[in-house]
Amino acid sequence: MPTRNATAATPPLAGRKDGIAVVRRAGYDDIALYSAPQQRCAVDLSDNVNLWGAPPSALVAVRTTIEESVSRYPVAYEPALRNALARHAGVAPEMIVAGCGSDDVLDSAMRAFAEPGDTVCLPAPSFSMIPVFARVNGLVPVAVPLTLQLDADVERMLETRARITYLCSPNNPTGQPFSPQAVERIIDGAAGLVIIDQAYAEFGGESFTRLVMSRRPVLVTRTMSKAFGLAGLRVGYGIGSPDVIGEILKVRGPYRISAPAEAGAIAVLTNDQSWVTERVAEVVANRARFSRELALSGFSPVPSAANFVLVPVENSTALSAKLHDAGIGVRALRALPGIGDALRIGIGPWHLMQRCLDALARAA
C-alpha cells in the first residue's frame, strides 16, 4: 500500500506516455499487417493455392475426426504426421518439423538460429514475408538483387556473412528455380544457416532435400498449401538434420498443428498422392498453354517452374484493378528489382485461365 504522502507526491498517471507507447517494441513501428484482399473475386488467381480445391480424402478425414479430436490436445510434436511426412520426403522422422504453415517453420527457424541484431540475407525479389519474419524477430533483412538470369547472386549474398541466408526455389514471385550450382556454392560458403524454401517444388525445378545432409546447417521448407490443396488447414514442414530440427522444435513448442489439420494432412499423404500428382500435371500443362497464349497476345511471361506465372506489365495496379472489376483476382506487384511492374497469376483449371485471358484482352 502506498503511504498517503507518496500518493500525494506522485499522481499515478502524471507525465506518463500512453500505455502502448511504453510497451511497444521500437523495431515494430513501421511493420504493417499483411494486406490480402478481403473480398475474393469470382475467379481468384492471386494466392497460388490449388485451384481444383482440396483432395477428397482430406475432407473425409477432417469430418470424421472432428468430434473426437476437438476437446483434447493433439499428441505432442505430432509423431504420426512427422512419420507420414518423412515417408513422403524420403528421410527419417527426426529430420522433420511440421508447422502452422511453412510460414511458421520459417519464422521459428529465424528465432532458433539468430540473435537479435543478426542479419538475414535474402534475394530480391522473393517471398515478401521473409523481411517481415526477420524484423519481428529483431533481425536485419539484407536483400540482394537476383542476377539478370533471375538466379541467386552467390558472391554478393555470401559477402553479407549473414547468420541466416534464405533462398526460394522455385522463387516467388519470379517462378524460376535457382541453379543447383548457385545453391550449392551458397551452402559451402555461408556463415550460418541456409534455408531453401521449396513451397513450389512439386511444380518444377530440382528438389534440394539431399542437401540437408551436407555437413553445413541447411533447412529445406515445404508446404501442403499449394500442390496438396490444404492452405486452409495450415500445414507446412521443414526438412533438416536432426540437430537443426531439434533447435526449431524448441522454438515451435509441442502443440502447433491442430488435430483436424493433422488428420487431413495424413490422409492425403497416405491415400491421395495420385490426386495431387494429377493436379500438378494439369498445372504444368496449363502453365505452358497459358504462357503461350500470353506471348501470342504480346506479353512476355517469365518462364515458370511454379503454379503461377509472372507477367511484366506497364502499370500493374491499374491493370489488376480492371481485372478485379471483371471478377478476376491476380497479384499486382510494383517495381520489382530488375523486372518492374508485374502481375503474378496463379494457374488452375483451363476454363479459369481462359477467363483470365479474355479479361486481359479486354483490359490491356
Amino acid occupying residue 45: L
Report the residue number, 198 or 359, with the smaller CB distance to ligand PMP. 198
Binding mask 46-85 for ligand PMP (x = CB under 6 A): --x-------------------------------------
* Closest residue by beta carbon to ligand PMP: 101
Amino acid occupying residue 304: S
10 Å Cβ neighbour count for 167? 25
Report the residue number, 107 or 357, with the smaller CB distance to ligand PMP. 107
Q: Where are the alpha helices (DSSP H) in the chain?
A: 4-9, 19-23, 56-69, 79-89, 101-113, 129-136, 154-159, 180-189, 242-252, 259-271, 273-296, 316-325, 350-363
Closest to 234 measured CA to CA, from 103, 358, 137: 103
Task: By CB under 6 A, tell whether 41 contacts ligand PMP.
Answer: no
Residue 212, C-beta contacts closer than 8 angstroms, at least 6 positions apart: 91, 95, 218, 219, 220, 239, 240, 241, 244
Binding mask 165-184 for ligand PMP (x = CB under 6 A): ---x---x------------
- Angle of CA points 200, 202, 203, to nearest 5°: 75
CA distance 135 to 4: 46
Among 44, 78, 103, 272, binds ligand PMP (CB under 6 A): 103
Report the residue number, 199 or 294, with the smaller CB distance to ligand PMP. 199
Binding mask 200-239 for ligand PMP (x = CB under 6 A): -----------------------x-x-----x----x---
Report the residue number, 168 or 263, with the smaller CB distance to ligand PMP. 168
Report the residue number, 189 or 303, with the smaller CB distance to ligand PMP. 303
Give, as one character, the DSSP assignment of residue 74.
P
**DSSP-derived pairing of the beta strands 236-240 and 96-99:** antiparallel
Task: By CB under 6 A, tell whether 102 contacts ligand PMP.
Answer: yes
Q: Is 141 left (phi over 0), alpha (psi -120 to 50) or beta?
A: beta
Closest approach, Cβ 99 to ligand PMP, in A, equals 8
Task: By CB under 6 A, tell whether 127 contacts ligand PMP.
Answer: yes
Binding mask 261-280 for ligand PMP (x = CB under 6 A): --------------------
Report the residue number, 119 or 225, with the smaller CB distance to ligand PMP. 225
Residues 10-39 that bind ligand PMP (CB under 6 A): none
Closest approach, Cβ 172 to ligand PMP, in A, equals 4
Report the residue number, 47 or 282, with the smaller CB distance to ligand PMP. 47
CA distance 213 to 102: 20
Residues that bind ligand PMP (CB under 6 A): 48, 101-103, 127, 168, 172, 197, 199, 223, 225, 231, 236
